[in-house]
Amino acid sequence: MTHPLGNPPSKIIAVHLNYPSRAKERGRIPSQPSYFLKPPSSLAGTKEAIVRPQGCELLGFEGEIALIVGSRAQRVRPEDGWSHVRWVTAANDAGVYDLRYADRGSNLRSKGADGFTPIGPRLLDARRLDPAALQLRTWVNGELVQDDTTDTLLFPFGQLVADLSRLVTLEPGDVILTGTPAGASVVSPGDTVEVEVTGSGQSTGRLRNPIASGPALETYGAMPRTDAAEREAAHGAAFTPEPPPATAGRCPQLDERIEDGLRSVAVATLSAQLRGRGLPHMSIDGVRPTRPDTKMVGVAHTLRYLPLREDLFKRYGNGMNAQKRAVEQLRPGHVLVMDARRDTSAGTLGDILALRAQQRGAAGVVTDGGLRDSVAVTELGLPVYHGGAHPSVLGRRHVPWDTGVPIACGGALVQPGDLLVGDADGVVVVPPELAEDLITDCREQEQRERFITEQVRAGHGIDGLYPLGPDWHEMYERWRKQHSTQGEHT
Known binding residues for Mg(2+) are 373
Contact 15, 34 (CB under 8 A): yes
3-state secondary structure of 57: coil
User: Which residues neighbour 485 within 8 Å (Cβ) at sequence distance 6 or greater?
Assistant: none
Distance (Å, rounded) from C-alpha 332 to C-alpha 431?
Answer: 19
* Binding-site sequence positions: 350-353, 372-373
* Binding-site sequence positions for substrate: 350-353, 372
Cβ count within 10 A of residue 274? 21
3-state secondary structure of 230: helix
Residue 450 belongs to what H/E stretch? helix 435-457
Instruction: Give one DSSP letter per residue of 19-30, joined into a string.
Output: -HHHHHHHT---
Q: Which amino acid is at 270?
A: L
Cα R_g (the chain), whole angstroms: 28
| Beta strand residue intervals within 93-228, DSSP E | 95-96, 117-125, 135-140, 143-149, 175-177, 186-187, 192-199, 202-203, 207-216
Distance (Å, rounded) from C-alpha 342 to C-alpha 367?
Answer: 8
Tell me which residue of 252, 262, 290 sits closest to 367, measured CA to CA. Answer: 290
> How many CA atoms lie within 13 Å of 467's alpha carbon, on the beta-carbon side?
3
Give CA 351 to chain center in angstroms: 19
